[in-house]
Chain A
Amino acid sequence: MTLDPAGEAPLKTDDPKTPDIPDVPTHTQSAARRPPRSLSAINALLALLVSAAVLYASFIGAGPLPALGPAFNPATGAWTMAADAATVQSQTLTIPGLQQPVRVMFEKDGTAHVVAQTDADLFLAVGYVHARFRLFQMDLERRQGEGLLSQVVGKAALDSDRFELQLGLLRTAQLEWAQADDTTKIALTAYAKGVNDRIDEAKKTHQLDVMFTLLGYQPQPWTPIDTLIVKGDMTQTLNFTDTPLVMELLNKSLGPNLTQQWFPVLPPNPQSPYDPGPYPTQAKPAPITVLSSVTDSEAATALALHNRLANLPPSLVATGGASNNWAVAGAKSVSGGALMAGDPHLHLTLPSIWFQLTEDSPDYHTSGVSIPGTPVVLIGHNQHISWSLTDAQNQQTFFYEEKEDSAHPGQYFWKDAWHNYTSVSYDIPVLGGTTDHLVVKLSTHGPVISERGLTTSVWWAGNIPSQDFSVLMHVGQASNYQEFRDALRDWHSPTHNFVYADDAGNIGLISAGYYPLVAQGQPWLPMPGTGEYDVTGTVPYDDIPQIYDPPSNIVWSANQRQVGPDYPYYIGTASNFFDPGYRANEIQRVLSQPGKLSAADMMALQTDTRDFLASEITPILVQALAGDQLTSSEQQARDLLASWDFRMETNSAAASIWSTFWQSYLSQTFDPTWKAKNVTVDRHELDDALGQYLEASTIAGGRASCPPNAICAPPPPAPPYGALRSAFHAAFSTLSTKLGGDPGSWTWGKLHTRVLENLAQISGLNYGPRPDRGDGNTPLAAGGDPSTHGPSWRMVVDWGTKTFSGIYPGGQSENPASTWYENKVDTWWSGLYAPMLSADEASFAPGVTTWAMQP
């Protein structure tokens, strides 16, 4: 192939092979050297084809590649992330919509301080700041809840979009907005204005986040509904559960008795509820019947729906909670003031779910962490009180099997009459595909989410409009427990354990939210939708779990069941709805020790790696092994356990032996039954629940450990000592194979790692995996391997010294090239904290930069 068929280069007259034709005009000479027209045509055709291919790749992209032209344009494409990543400089910004000038200061680590002269300006400025650093994250979150992910990532997200629109986050957000009070409307409108100011600015200056560029779209204007959707995402992540479906599948395969024994309503193991009673005696809770058989069609329906939910992205279905908070009254603290600690455990992502800031305006003086997309501090403190949250875990999801028949198409039977389903239609745009049309049917219980087998609808507390922002703004303004408690009265979902401490030395804990009451039946299973089993209301606010200034001078929550067995209302079963209680037990154990506590003790407890379950079981195991035939290496492993302090530290070999042993123990105890009865639920999903039974029966020493509320016909599956020994030998074999023959070298760090995952699932932008301490039972939560879930924010408050400390694993910026992308991770990983400065303090901090925002 020649690239020069039309070449006009001068002839080389000294070329001996070129005839000398002096009389021929020059242009004729050129024409004589020009290739035939056919070759020129071929060349032109090739040029056209190659040009078309290059232009196609540049304008449209190819395969996984984005449109190369706009994506890699150094001036306006992905490379602008370099400018965006540059250190924030002090400057003056003109922000449309402001009423008065606003000052925004940034500490060296990116922590923001927004100081405004009106409340509306405060929220507008917060919207601008959030969008400046987290716009893509915010856009992803609203798209998830609004069912619009497919529009930018294609068909792969269609199942998620369809489910979200069925479940109804968008409908609920629209209702919440319609019902919002004026304060909320002003705040959310101002916030949206601030976000949109930044969107407009970023579009004009080509500073949109790199992911917008690479995905080839630009963000739409932000609306208050979007903020409510982001709140809905969080609610869904924390309390939309599939547990009734799991229970139905277990009931079908294991039978009612074994299911009741292994998965009881009340926990079979020793727990430490924070609200020990006395409980209301006037309550008239509904009669909750015992488990009954499940039909084939019910089981098939549950399996189909369970599988559908299992294939959704993990954040759409809650899979158990893990967060800690506690408080110590002034009477028990070294400083004389109340202490408070909070560390919500969530999926650890980069960027983090949190954005740290202080908010100051005439009516608000809050400091803590906010969720980008929302205008308020969710966890933090003001001048008088501090608060933090853990998930309350009560059952908030109920499934109903609607009664239908062919004589009444489009109808369901409810309360002795046939009713029409209502319906809502949605169009889901799909990148690279045709728009998907979705019709959502709604019964009186909620949206129909499955029509495979029996038609199943879902009643979900997250679909009850909940004015959470109004509540949080009132919480932020509260100055004592009464105002705090009054503010939480309107909080519906997700139900949270709100811990409280104030500058007068008081402490409290209240599990605010909606506690659905059903008329009758078995709410832990899907129920008939004919009306007799409906949700009829909620536990009265005065009756929900709560405590204020208890004589013990401590309060604590870690997703455990908050109340004891005498609590009169059904609030959920032990399996999955509530945590097994080991973290709560350990926290209670440490806080209850004699003597006074300091902020340093709070920090130490937040990073405590003592496994409470191990502390219960290991001594029994060591005792069981005392009468066993052991090799010298096995003896060495036994000795490591015998001298262990039950801490899951990276350099602990005993921690590895314990963890592997416990998995073997669970496996050897339950797997034979799983296999024999063809249980369709993955056993590992249920290890927390099964572990509680195994723990209780092991502690009972081989006797049938029957909790008072359960029916315990069969004895435990195996005599504990034999089972303990067998599991130990299996664990020893596993570890020998994996880590070699020297038990002393089996350190926990070789088995257990943690990773902070990039939010857009780009593994190259993850932090880790790195060996890390802790496990799923330790206050320093680190379940799974690699662990992707854990303390997403740690805060410690000492009202006696007025010191506030906090840290989260991440950074303020979502730009991976920014120094603020992961700059807080190492501090967090080391168990250290950063001071939470007020705006006044920050203004004198070294390296602070300031944005002067002008209207």
Chain B
Amino acid sequence: MKGWVWLFITLIGLAISLTGLLLGAWWLTFVAGLIIGAVIGQGRVAIPAGAGAGVVSWGFGLAVLQVYYGLGASARSLAAIMGFTGQPAIPLILTCVVGLLLGLTGAWLASALRGLLVPATH
């Protein structure tokens, strides 16, 4: 499979994830990972692609908020609520990690299942 196809599939996954976030269907990031994993198949490509789609979409959401409203006070507040007073990076990182994990696990699961369905040689 050509690299541009992988990129295209990844971008499709990214769009699905972003749409899901806007609609409150955050789990679509996982679905996007599933699609990426199922279509690309190769784990070594699909998994980074899924993780990338996840982290970029969630990170993009944060970036938009930063541009329009600024995230400093919110990050400080969320960190305090989480028990990490004075460490505003933690909720930001956690948000990106959630997106990354959803995309990554979706892609991994799909590529792994696809691997099971293809006959193996003994």
Residues of A within 8 A of B (CB): 2-9, 28, 31-32, 34-37, 40-41, 43-44, 46-48, 50-51, 54-55, 58-59, 68-70, 72-79, 81-83, 85-86, 206, 210-211, 214, 762-765, 815-818
Query: Contact at A79–B71, with CB atoms within 8 Å?
Result: yes
Asked whether, in the complex, the Cβ of B43 is within 8 Å of the Cβ of A7, the reply is yes
Bound-complex Cα distance A55 to B48 (A) = 18
Give the distance to chain B from A300, nearest Cβ to Cβ, in Å: 41
Asked if A75 contacts B116 (CB within 8 A), the reply is no
The smallest beta-carbon distance between B40 and chain A, in angstroms, is 9
Interface size on B, residues (CB 8 A): 54
Cβ of B9 within 8 Å of any chain A Cβ, yes or no, is no
Closest to A5 in B: B115
- In the bound complex, residues from chain B placing their C-beta under 8 Å from that of A817 are 73-74, 76-77
Q: How far is the CA of A69 from the CA of B94 in the complex (A)?
A: 11
- On chain B, the residues within 8 Å of A206 by CB distance are 24
Give Cα distance in the complex from A55 to B101, angstroms: 9
**Cross-chain contact B43 with A50 (CB below 8 angstroms):** no
- Closest beta carbon of chain B to A414's beta carbon, Å: 51
| Chain A residues whose CB sits within 8 angstroms of the CB of B79 once the complex forms | 764
What residue in chain B is nearest A816 (Cβ atoms)? B77
Q: Say yes or no: A73 contacts B116, CB within 8 Å.
A: no
- Assess whether B14 is interfacial by the CB under 8 Å rule: no
Partner of A59, one of B27, B42, B95, B116: B27
Which of A34, A59, A72 contacts B118, CB < 8 Å?
Answer: A34
Q: Are B73 and A9 in contact (CB under 8 A)?
A: no
CB-CB under 8 A for A54 and B102, given A82-B70, A764-B81: yes
Majority secondary structure, B binding face? helix
Q: Which residue of chain B is the closest to A44 with respect to CB atoms?
A: B112
20 contacts between A and B (CB under 8 A): A6-B111, A6-B115, A6-B118, A8-B1, A8-B42, A31-B119, A34-B115, A34-B121, A35-B120, A36-B120, A40-B116, A41-B116, A55-B27, A72-B91, A74-B61, A74-B95, A79-B61, A82-B74, A764-B85, A816-B73
Q: Kindly count the residue-residue contacts between A and B in the assembled complex, taking CB atoms under 8 Å apart.
A: 180
From B68, B81, B98, B120, A31 is in contact (CB under 8 Å) with: B120
For the residues of A in contact with B, the DSSP-based class is helix
* B83 with A764: CB separation less than 8 A: yes
A9 touches B26 (CB 8 A): no
Quick check: is B64 within 8 A (CB to CB) of the other chain? yes
Give the residues in chain A near B74, CB-CB below 8 Å.
78-79, 81-82, 85, 817
6 additional A-B pairs beyond A75-B21, A79-B65, A818-B73, beta carbons within 8 Å, are: A6-B116, A8-B42, A34-B120, A83-B68, A211-B81, A764-B86
Which chain A positions have C-beta within 8 A of B94?
68, 72
- Docked complex Cα distance between A815 and B77 (Å): 9
> B43 to A6, Cβ gap below 8 A?
yes
Residue B80 lies at the interface, judged by CB distance under 8 Å to chain A: yes
Contacts known (A75-B24, A83-B68, A764-B85); A40 close to B98, Cβ less than 8 A: no
B113 at the binding interface (Cβ < 8 Å)? yes
* A31 partner residues in chain B, CB cutoff 8 A: 118-121
Determine whether B105 belongs to the interface, using a CB cutoff of 8 Å to chain A.
yes
Residues of A with C-beta under 8 A to B80: 762-765, 816
Pairwise interchain contact B115-A44, C-beta atoms closer than 8 A:
yes
Asked whether A81 lies within 8 Å of B44 as measured between CB atoms, the reply is: no
In contact, B69 and A9 (Cβ under 8 angstroms): no
Asked whether any CB of chain A lies closer than 8 Å to the CB of B47, the reply is yes
| Bound-state Cα–Cα, A179 to B98, Å | 53
- Top-6 shortest CB links A-B: A6-B115, A764-B80, A74-B61, A764-B85, A4-B43, A817-B73
Residue contact A86 to B69, C-beta cutoff 8 Å: yes
| Chain B residues, CB < 8 A from A763 | 80, 85
Does A68 contact B98, Cβ atoms closer than 8 Å? yes
A51 in contact with B108 (CB, 8 Å): yes
Q: Which residues of B contact A762 (CB under 8 A)?
A: 80-81
CA distance A375 to B94 in the complex (A): 40
Residues of A within 8 A of B116 (CB): 6, 37, 40-41, 44
> Is B112 touching A47 in the complex (CB atoms < 8 A)?
yes
Residues of B with C-beta under 8 A to A48: 109, 112
- Most chain A beta carbons < 10 A, residue from B22, B43, B62, B74: B74
Q: Check if B78 is an interface residue, CB within 8 A of chain A.
A: yes
Asked if A40 and B115 make an inter-chain contact with CB atoms under 8 angstroms apart, the answer reads yes
A30 and B72 CA atoms in complex are apart in Å by 51
Query: What chain B residues lie within 8 Å of A50 (beta carbons)?
Result: 105, 108
Contact between chains at B64 and A74 (CB < 8 Å): yes
In the bound complex, CA of A86 to CA of B68 (Å):
9
How far is A6 from B21 in the complex, measured between Cα atoms in Å? 31
Q: How far is the CB of B109 from chain A (nearest CB, A)?
A: 4
